[in-house]
C-alpha cells in the first residue's frame, strides 16, 4: 500500500478481517481492510446496504453482533490495539476519545428520560462537570451546535423534539469531550434534505473546531465526496476503491464506483439515463465459494480473466488504489440514453383538485380548547393522462395528507376533487368503488404494507378480492405470474413469503400489487426512499417501463429532488400545507422562483465535486426546526 502516513494516524487498520464464527459455518463480513485515518481528516465510507459499512463502526467499538469476531489483522486507535485491549480500557475510550452519532436520532435518545438527564449523565461520566455545574456546561455545548433555548430544552423529552433537534443534541453530546475520533453512521438518512445539509455542515464545523478525525458512513457517494477528504468504497465487505474524495468522484477507477455514481440521478445539467446495476450484491455465504473478482457478476466490464483470482488493491495514482484488473476501461462505462420524453399532448385531465383543504382538529377534551391546523391548505392540482407529477417538500409539509385525500383515505374539509369528470369529493360508498377502479396507492414502507403471512402470489392479486373479478385460484395464479414477470421477479417468488425477499424486491411486490387491477392512476408515497441507489434506479426505470406499457399516471411523493427531476414531468413544491411553486420539473429546478424551492435545491449536494455546496443554513421564515 502506498499510503505513507505523514502524521501519526489516529486509527489504522491492517489486514483487518471480521468473520462470523458460528458453530456450523463461518464466513467473512469484512475482508482485508487497510486504511489509516489522520487526525482532523474525514474518511467517507460508501457502499450498498450490507456492504459492511456499519460493521466497521461496530468493530471499532467491539460491540460486534453475536457470533462475529475479528479473526485477522489489527485495528489500532492511537497506536493501541482496540481488539486485544482490556474491555475496561476500551469502555473508557468510548464516549471520551471515540464518539458515535447514530442513524436514527429520535430513537438514539432514551424516551423516558429528559434531554437534561441524559446529557447530565454523559457529562458526569466523562468528568466534564461535577454536581450542579453540568447545567452550565450543557448549555454551552448546546450553543456550539446552534441549539436555541437550551435551558428549556433540558426539560424536554425526545418525543417532544424534531429529528433534527435530537441529532443536534446527540452531536453536542458526542463533541462535548472533544473526541479524537468520531464515527457517524448515516447520521442524516432519516432527516429532511434541508436539515440533512445543516447537520452535515454542523458535523464538519465541529470536526474542524476540535481537529477530530471522522468516519462518515453514507450510501450517498455525492454527499460523501462533498464532505470527505478521502473515500473508501466497500463492496461485499472488501474495499473496491480508496482515494482522495475529489479525485475518486471525478475519475472513479473501479467500475463499481462508476456504476454507483451513474445510478444516481443528477440535480443539475441535462438529464441523463440511469445506469442500472443488475441484481444484488452477492450474499456473504455465497462469497466464500466465489473465485475471482466479487463484483464480476454485476460488472459491465467483466471478462473471463476477472473470475480467475481476486484482483489485488493496486495503486492507480497518488494515494489512490482500486481492486480491478481493468481500471483503464472504467471510463468506458456510460449511462444508457435517456428514455425519450413523453409529450403530454393529449393533456386529458384525469384527476383534478380545486382548493383542497384538510384541517385536523385536536381531540375533544374538557380541559383544552380544541384547536385546528390545516395540513393541506387550498391546494389546486391536476394530473393528466400518462403524466408523472412529483410532490416535494419537507416532512410535515402536507405531502402525505394530500395523498390521503386523493386516494380517499381522508375526506377533504373543503374544496373539490374530480376524477375523470366525476365529482368524488363527498367520498361516499359509490365514490369509493368508482375511485378504487381508477386509483391505487403504493405505500412507503413495504415491510409493514405486506402481510407477512400471505404468499407473494396472493398479495399481488389481493385487489381482485375486492373487485370480485377474476377471483378463481387459477385466474389469480395466472395474473400473479404475469405481474411478477412485469416487475422482474422470478416466477417462483409467487410462492414465497415477504420475509424471503429483499427490501427492493418487496417494494416491487408493493408496486405490482397496486398495478394488479390496471389502475389509471398510482399514488406513490416515498416508495424509493431508504433503498440503495442501485435498487432505486431499478425501480425508477421499472415505473417508466410500466408507464410505456400501460399508460398510467402517477402522483409521486418524494423528498429526493434528484429522483423527482429524473422521473416526473411536473413538480409541485409544498410548504406548510400550501403549494408554493409548481410547473415543469426542469423549468422549476433550473430556475426556481420561490425562496423555499431555492433552499430545497441548495440543500442537495451538487453533482460537480468542485462546485461549492452552500446550503441555506438558516433562512428566516423557512426553518422547520
Partner 1 sequence: MRMFATIAKLLVKRVLTAIPILLLVSALLFCILRILPVDPAAMSLPPNATVQEVEAMRTEMGLNLPLYQQYGIWLNKLFHGDIGRSIHFRQDVTSLIGSTLPATIELAVIAMMVATVFGLAGGLFLFYVRGTRAEAVMDFVSILLLSLPEFLWSLFLLLIFGVFFEVLPFTGRLSPGFERPLVTGFLLFDSLITGNIPTLLNALQHMILPCLALGIALSPSLMRVLRSSLLDAYQDDYIQQARLRGLSEKRILIRHGLKNAILPTLSLMGVQFGFLFGGTLLVEIIYSYPGMGNLMVDAIRNADLPIIQGAGLTYCVAVLVISIVVDSLYLILNPKLRVR
Ligand X SMILES: Nc1ncnc2c1ncn2[C@@H]1O[C@H](COP(=O)(O)OP(=O)(O)OP(=O)(O)O)[C@@H](O)[C@H]1O
Q: Smallest distance from the beta carbon of 235 to ligand SF4, in angstroms? A: 9
Cell of 605: 449536494
By CB under 5 A, residue 189 contacts Mg ion: no
Cell of 567: 422521473
Q: What part of residues 262-321 is at the interface with ligand SF4 (CB under 6 A)?
A: 293, 295-296, 299, 301-302, 306, 311
Q: Which of 120, 122, 222, 559 binds partner 1 (CB under 8 A)?
A: 122
295 binds, among ligand SF4, Mg ion, partner 1, none (CB under 5 to 8 A by kind): ligand SF4
The C-alpha angle with vertex 145 and arms to 143 and 149, in degrees rounded to 5, equals: 45
Of the pair 70, 356, the CB lying nearest ligand X is at 70
Q: Which residue has the cell 446495476?
A: 277
For residues 253 and 330, the answer to whether their CB atoms sit within 8 Å is yes
> Rounded distance, CA 473 to CA 481, Å?
12
Span from 117-125, 140-148, 374-382, 394-402 in contact with partner 1 (CB under 8 A):
117-125
Pick from 226, 187, 190: which is nearest to 203 by CA? 187
Q: What part of residues 243-262 is at the interface with ligand SF4 (CB under 6 A)?
A: 255
Q: Which of 9, 44, 47, 108 binds partner 1 (CB under 8 A)?
A: 108
Q: What part of residues 18-77 is at the interface with Mg ion (CB under 5 A)?
A: 54
Span from 34-42, 105-113, 258-266, 320-328 in contact with partner 1 (CB under 8 A):
105-113
By CB under 8 A, residue 68 contacts partner 1: no
By CB under 6 A, residue 336 contacts ligand X: no
Region class of 298: left (phi > 0), else alpha (psi between -120 and 50), else beta: alpha
DSSP labels for 6-23?
Answer: SS--SEEEEEEEEEEE-S
Span from 27-35, 88-96, 138-146, 616-624 in contact with partner 1 (CB under 8 A):
88-96
Reported as type and span, the H/E element at residue 481 is helix 473-486
Cell of 274: 440511469
Cell of 363: 381531540
Q: How many residues bind ligand SF4 (CB under 6 A)?
A: 12
3-state secondary structure of 390: strand
DSSP labels for 301-342?
Answer: T--GGGGTSPPP-EEEETTEEE--TTGGGGGG--PPPPPPPP
* The dihedral formed by the CA atoms of 406, 407, 408 and 414, expressed in degrees to the nearest 10: -10
The C-alpha angle with vertex 142 and arms to 160 and 622, in degrees rounded to 5, equals: 60
Query: What is the contact mask toward partner 1 in residues 130 to 159, using x (rule: CB under 8 A)?
Result: ---------------------------x-x
Q: Smallest distance from the beta carbon of 284 to ligand X, in angstroms? A: 5
By CB under 6 A, residue 51 contacts ligand X: yes
398 binds, among ligand SF4, Mg ion, ligand X, none (CB under 5 to 8 A by kind): none
Q: Smallest distance from the beta carbon of 376 to ligand X, in angstroms? A: 34
Cα–Cα distances in Å, from 413 out to 126, 318, 401?
A: 54, 63, 12
For residues 443 and 511, the answer to whether their CB atoms sit within 8 Å is no
47 binds, among ligand SF4, Mg ion, ligand X, none (CB under 5 to 8 A by kind): ligand X
By CB under 6 A, residue 435 contacts ligand X: no
By CB under 8 A, residue 63 contacts partner 1: yes
Of the pair 54, 268, the CB lying nearest Mg ion is at 54
Residues that bind ligand X (CB under 6 A): 29, 47, 49-55, 65, 219, 284
Residues that bind ligand SF4 (CB under 6 A): 255, 293, 295-296, 299, 301-302, 306, 311, 324-326
Residues that bind partner 1 (CB under 8 A): 61, 63, 66, 91-96, 99-100, 102-104, 107-114, 121-122, 125-126, 157, 159-160, 170, 173, 366-368
Amino acid at each position: 500500500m502506498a499510503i505513507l502516513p505523514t502524521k501519526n494516524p489516529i486509527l489504522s487498520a491492517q489486514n483487518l478481517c471480521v468473520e462470523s464464527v458460528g458453530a456450523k459455518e463461518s464466513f467473512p463480513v469484512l475482508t482485508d481492510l487497510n486504511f489509516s485515518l489522520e487526525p482532523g481528516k474525514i474518511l467517507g465510507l460508501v457502499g450498498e446496504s450490507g456492504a459492511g459499512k456499519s460493521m466497521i463502526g461496530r468493530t471499532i467499538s467491539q460491540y460486534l453482533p453475536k457470533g462475529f469476531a475479528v479473526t485477522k489483522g489489527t485495528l489500532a486507535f492511537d497506536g493501541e490495539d482496540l481488539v486485544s485491549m482490556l474491555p475496561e480500557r476500551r469502555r473508557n475510550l468510548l464516549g471520551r476519545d471515540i464518539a458515535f452519532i447514530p442513524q436514527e436520532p429520535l430513537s438514539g435518545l432514551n424516551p423516558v428520560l429528559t434531554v437534561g438527564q441524559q446529557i447530565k449523565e454523559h457529562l458526569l461520566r466523562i468528568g466534564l462537570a461535577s454536581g450542579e455545574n453540568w447545567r452550565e456546561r450543557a448549555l454551552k455545548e448546546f450553543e456550539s451546535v446552534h441549539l436555541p433555548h437550551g435551558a428549556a430544552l433540558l426539560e424536554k423529552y425526545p418525543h417532544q423534539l424534531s429529528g433534527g433537534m435530537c441529532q443536534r443534541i446527540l452531536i453536542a453530546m458526542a463533541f462535548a469531550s472533544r473526541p479524537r475520533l468520531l464515527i457517524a453512521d448515516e447520521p442524516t438518512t432519516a432527516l429532511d434534505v434541508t436539515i440533512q445539509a445543516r447537520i452535515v455542515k454542523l458535523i464538519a464545523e465541529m470536526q474542524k473546531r476540535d481537529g477530530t478525525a471522522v468516519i462518515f458512513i453514507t450510501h450517498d457517494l455525492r454527499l460523501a465526496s462533498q464532505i470527505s477528504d478521502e473515500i473508501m468504497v466497500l463492496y461485499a465487505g472488501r474495499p473496491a476503491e480508496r482515494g482522495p474524495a475529489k479525485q475518486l468522484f471525478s475519475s472513479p477507477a473501479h467500475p463499481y464506483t462508476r456504476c454507483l455514481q451513474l445510478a444516481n440521478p443528477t440535480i443539475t445539467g441535462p438529464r441523463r439515463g440511469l445506469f442500472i446495476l443488475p441484481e444484488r450484491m452477492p450474499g456473504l455465504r455465497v462469497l466464500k465459494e466465489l473465485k475471482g473478482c466479487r463484483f464480476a457478476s454485476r460488472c459491465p466490464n467483466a471478462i473471463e480473466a476477472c473470475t480467475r483470482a481476486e484482483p489485488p488493491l493496486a495503486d492507480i495514482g497518488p494515494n489512490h488504489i482500486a481492486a480491478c484488473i481493468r481500471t483503464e476501461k472504467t471510463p468506458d462505462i456510460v449511462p444508457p440514453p435517456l428514455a425519450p420524453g413523453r409529450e403530454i399532448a393529449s393533456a386529458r385531465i384525469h384527476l383534478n383538485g380545486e382548493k383542497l383543504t384538510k384541517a385536523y382538529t385536536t381531540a375533544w377534551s374538557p380541559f383544552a380548547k380544541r384547536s385546528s391546523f390545516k395540513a393541506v391548505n387550498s391546494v389546486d392540482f391536476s394530473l393528466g393522462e400518462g403524466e408523472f407529477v412529483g410532490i416535494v417538500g419537507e416532512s410535515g409539509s402536507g405531502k402525505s395528507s394530500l395523498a390521503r385525500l386523493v386516494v380517499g383515505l381522508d375526506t377533504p374539509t373543503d374544496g373539490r376533487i374530480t376524477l375523470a369528470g366525476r365529482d368524488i369529493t363527498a367520498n361516499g360508498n359509490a365514490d369509493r368503488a368508482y375511485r378504487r377502479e381508477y386509483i391505487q396507492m403504493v405505500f412507503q414502507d413495504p415491510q409493514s404494507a405486506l402481510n407477512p403471512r400471505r404468499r407473494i402470489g396472493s398479495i399481488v392479486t389481493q385487489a381482485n378480492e375486492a373487485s370480485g373479478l377474476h377471483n378463481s385460484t387459477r385466474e389469480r395464479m395466472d395474473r400473479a405470474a404475469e405481474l411478477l414477470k412485469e416487475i422482474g421477479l422470478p416466477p417462483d417468488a409467487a410462492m414465497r413469503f415477504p420475509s424471503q425477499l429483499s427490501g427492493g424486491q418487496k417494494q416491487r411486490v408493493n408496486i405490482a400489487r397496486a398495478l394488479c387491477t390496471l389502475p389509471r392512476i398510482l399514488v406513490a408515497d416515498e416508495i424509493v426512499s431508504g433503498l440503495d441507489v442501485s435498487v432505486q434506479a431499478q425501480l425508477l426505470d421499472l415505473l417508466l417501463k410500466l408507464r410505456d406499457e400501460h399508460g398510467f399516471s402517477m402522483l409521486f411523493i418524494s423528498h429526493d429532488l434528484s429522483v423527482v427531476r429524473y422521473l416526473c414531468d411536473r413538480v409541485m413544491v409544498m410548504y406548510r400545507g400550501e403549494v408554493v411553486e409548481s410547473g415543469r420539473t426542469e423549468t422549476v429546478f433550473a430556475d426556481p422562483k420561490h425562496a423555499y424551492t431555492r433552499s430545497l435545491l441548495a440543500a442537495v449536494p451538487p453533482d460537480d465535486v468542485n462546485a461549492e455546496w452552500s446550503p441555506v443554513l438558516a433562512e428566516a421564515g423557512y426553518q422547520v426546526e
